[in-house]
C-alpha cells in the first residue's frame, strides 16, 4: 500500500499524464468542487446582474438630472416672476404718487369750476 506522502508527490504527475486518473478525480470532486463551466456560468450571471444594476443606476441618474433641471427652471421662473413683481410694484407706487397728484389737481379744477358757477 502507498502512503499519503508518496501519493501526494505522485498525484500531480498522474493527473497530468493519465486521463483515466484525471477523470476519476474529476468525477470524485464534481459534487464538491466547481468546474470551469460552473465558474464561467457564475461569472456570466454576475455580469448580467451588474449590467442590470448599471442600467438602473443610469435610469436613476437620468431621472435625478430631469428633476434637478425642473427645479432649476422653476427657481429661474420664480426669480423672473420676482423681478416682474418688483417692477410692477415700483410702477404702481410711482403711479400712486401721480394718481394722488391727479386727484388733487382734479379737485382743484372742480373747486374752481364750482366757484365759477356759484359766483354767477
**Maximum Cα–Cα distance across the chain:** 153
Torsion of CA 77, 83, 87, 89, to 10 degrees: 80
Spatial separation of the C-alpha atoms in residues 67 and 57, rounded to whole Å:
15
- The whole-model pTM stands at 0.47
**pLDDT for the residue 120:** 61
Q: DSSP 3-state assignment of 35? A: coil
- DSSP H or E run through 16: helix 4-17
Q: E strands along 17-114, which residues?
A: none
> pLDDT by residue for the chain (120 residues), tens digit each?
788 998 889 888 988 898 998 888 888 888 788 888 889 999 999 999 999 999 999 999 999 999 999 999 999 998 998 898 888 888 877 777 677 777 888 888 888 888 887 766
Amino acid at each position: 500500500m502507498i502512503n499519503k506522502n508518496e501519493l501526494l508527490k505522485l498525484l500531480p504527475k498522474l493527473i497530468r499524464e493519465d486521463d483515466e486518473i484525471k477523470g476519476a478525480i474529476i468525477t470524485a470532486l464534481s459534487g464538491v468542487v466547481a468546474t470551469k463551466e460552473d465558474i464561467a456560468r457564475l461569472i456570466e450571471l454576475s455580469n448580467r446582474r451588474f449590467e442590470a444594476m448599471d442600467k438602473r443606476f443610469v435610469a436613476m441618474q437620468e431621472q435625478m438630472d430631469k428633476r434637478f433641471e425642473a427645479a432649476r427652471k422653476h427657481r429661474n421662473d420664480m426669480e423672473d416672476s420676482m423681478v416682474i413683481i418688483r417692477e410692477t410694484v415700483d410702477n404702481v407706487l410711482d403711479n400712486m404718487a401721480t394718481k394722488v397728484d391727479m386727484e388733487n389737481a382734479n379737485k382743484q379744477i372742480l373747486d374752481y369750476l364750482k366757484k365759477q358757477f356759484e359766483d354767477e
